[in-house]
C-alpha cells in the first residue's frame, strides 16, 4: 500500500478483507483511482469482482480495511449515503424505470440529488434548472432524441446509455460501471465506450469489462483479480506482457 498515493487519490480501497465463513472472497484488496481515471477491473468469473463492487458500494461491510472517497473514510456509510457522497454504480443487467421516459427518469434523479424531490406542491415543469440539467445529461450520451419515448420501448443500446445517464444525474465523483456494454453488439459497444471516455475529466471511472479489445483500448490502467485478490495492476502494455496474467486469465478460454 502506498499511503501517499492513496491520500491524493479520488478514491481508494485499503486492505479490504471479507470472509463468508471459511471462504475468503476478498483478501487485502488495495487500489486507488486518481481524479479523472479510466481504470478497468478484469478477472475470470468468480474472481471476486462483484464482491469488490458490493464492498465498495456498501452492500457488504468488510471484515477489515477502509473505503476512502475524496479523503473521507466511508467504510461504514450506508449505500444511499455513499451515493450522496458521490460514489455511484451502474448495473450489469439494466435496472431502469420501464414506464418512465428517459427525460422523466433523469429529471427524477436530478431532483433527488438537488433535494427537491420531496416538493409535492410545485409542478415538475416549474423546475426549469433540473429539467435543463437532465437535458444536458441526455445530450451528452446522445439520448436527447429519444428523451420522451417510454423506456421499455427503447432499443437495447439506448437503454444501456440510459443506465449511465441515471448514474451521471447524481453528479458522481467516482463511477463504477458494471459491464456497461453487456449484451450490446460489438460495433455499438465501441461507440458506447467512446461516450464513456468523453465524460467529464473530474469523474473517476472504474469499469468491469470482459471484452479485452475494449479494455486495452479504453483503460489507462488495468486491475486484474483472481481468487478474491488483486493479482497485478498496471498499464495495458504491462498487463499484456505479464506472464501470470496470461496464465490465469488471458491464456485460458474466456467465459462471458
Partner 1 sequence: MTSLTSAGAGDDLKIWLTKRTRWRGAEIVFWLACLLPYALTPDYLQLASQIAISALFALSLDLLLGYAGVLSLGHAAFFGLGAYTAGLLAAHGWGEPLTGLAAAGLVAGVCGFLASLIVVRFRGLALIMITLGLAQMLASAANSVSWLTGGADGLQGVDVKPLFGVFSFDLWGRTAYAYSLAVLFLVFLLVRRITNSPFGLSLRGIRENGVRMAALGAPNQAHLRKTFTIAAGIAGLAGALLTQTTETVSLQTLGFQKSADVLVMLVLGGVGRLYGGLVGAIIYMIARDQFSDMNPEYWFFWIGLMLIGVVVFLPGGILGGLSLLTRSWKRRAP
Binding site for partner 1 (CB under 8 A): 79-81, 83-84, 88-89, 91, 95-100, 103-105, 107-109, 111-113, 116-125, 127-128, 130-136, 139, 147-148, 166-167, 169-170
Nearest to 245 by CA among 53, 42, 103, 82: 42
Q: Residue 61 or 95: which CB sits closer to partner 1?
A: 95
Q: How far is the CB of 203 from partner 1 (least distance, A)?
A: 16
DSSP readout, 139-198?
HHTT-GGGTTS-GGGS-HHHHHHHHHHHHHTT--SEEEEESTTTT--HHHHHHHHHHHHT
Q: Residue 82 or 221: which CB sits closer to partner 1?
A: 82
Q: Residue 80 or 235: which CB sits closer to partner 1?
A: 80
Nine cell digits for residue 188: 455499438
- CB atoms < 10 A from the CB of 213, how many? 12
Q: How far is the CB of 165 from partner 1 (least distance, A)?
A: 11
Q: How far is the CB of 110 from partner 1 (least distance, A)?
A: 9
Q: Residue 148 or 200: which CB sits closer to partner 1?
A: 148
Q: How far is the CB of 122 from partner 1 (least distance, A)?
A: 6
Q: What are phi and psi of 95, to 5 degrees?
A: -125, 85
Q: Residue 150 or 240: which CB sits closer to partner 1?
A: 150
Q: How far is the CB of 65 from partner 1 (least distance, A)?
A: 23
Burial class (CB in 10 A: 0-12, 13-18, 19+), 82: buried
Residue 171's Cβ-side half-sphere holds a number of Cα atoms within 13 Å equal to 13
Amino acid at each position: 500500500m502506498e499511503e501517499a498515493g492513496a491520500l491524493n487519490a479520488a478514491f481508494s480501497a485499503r486492505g479490504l478483507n471479507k470472509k463468508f465463513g471459511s471462504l475468503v472472497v476478498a483478501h487485502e484488496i488495495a487500489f486507488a483511482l486518481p481524479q479523472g481515471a479510466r481504470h478497468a477491473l478484469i478477472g475470470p468469473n468468480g474472481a471476486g469482482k462483484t464482491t469488490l463492487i458490493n464492498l465498495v458500494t456498501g452492500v457488504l461491510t468488510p471484515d477489515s480495511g477502509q473505503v476512502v472517497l475524496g479523503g473521507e473514510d466511508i467504510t461504514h456509510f450506508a449505500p444511499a449515503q455513499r451515493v450522496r457522497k458521490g460514489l455511484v454504480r451502474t448495473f450489469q443487467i439494466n435496472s431502469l424505470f420501464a414506464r418512465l421516459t428517459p427525460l422523466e427518469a433523469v429529471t427524477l434523479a436530478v431532483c433527488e440529488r438537488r433535494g427537491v424531490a420531496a416538493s409535492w406542491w410545485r409542478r415538475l415543469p416549474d423546475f426549469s434548472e433540473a429539467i435543463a440539467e437532465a437535458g444536458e445529461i441526455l445530450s451528452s450520451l446522445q439520448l436527447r432524441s429519444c428523451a420522451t419515448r417510454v423506456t421499455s420501448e427503447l432499443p437495447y443500446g439506448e437503454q444501456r446509455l440510459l443506465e449511465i445517464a441515471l448514474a451521471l444525474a447524481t453528479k458522481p465523483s467516482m463511477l463504477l460501471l458494471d459491464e456497461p456494454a453487456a449484451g450490446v453488439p460489438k460495433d455499438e459497444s465501441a461507440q458506447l465506450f467512446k461516450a464513456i471516455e468523453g465524460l467529464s475529466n473530474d469523474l473517476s471511472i472504474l469499469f468491469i469489462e470482459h471484452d479485452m479489445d475494449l479494455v486495452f483500448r479504453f483503460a489507462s490502467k488495468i486491475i486484474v483479480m483472481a481468487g478474491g485478490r488483486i493479482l497485478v495492476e498496471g498499464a495495458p502494455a504491462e498487463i499484456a506482457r505479464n506472464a501470470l496474467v496470461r496464465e490465469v486469465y488471458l491464456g485460458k478460454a474466456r467465459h462471458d
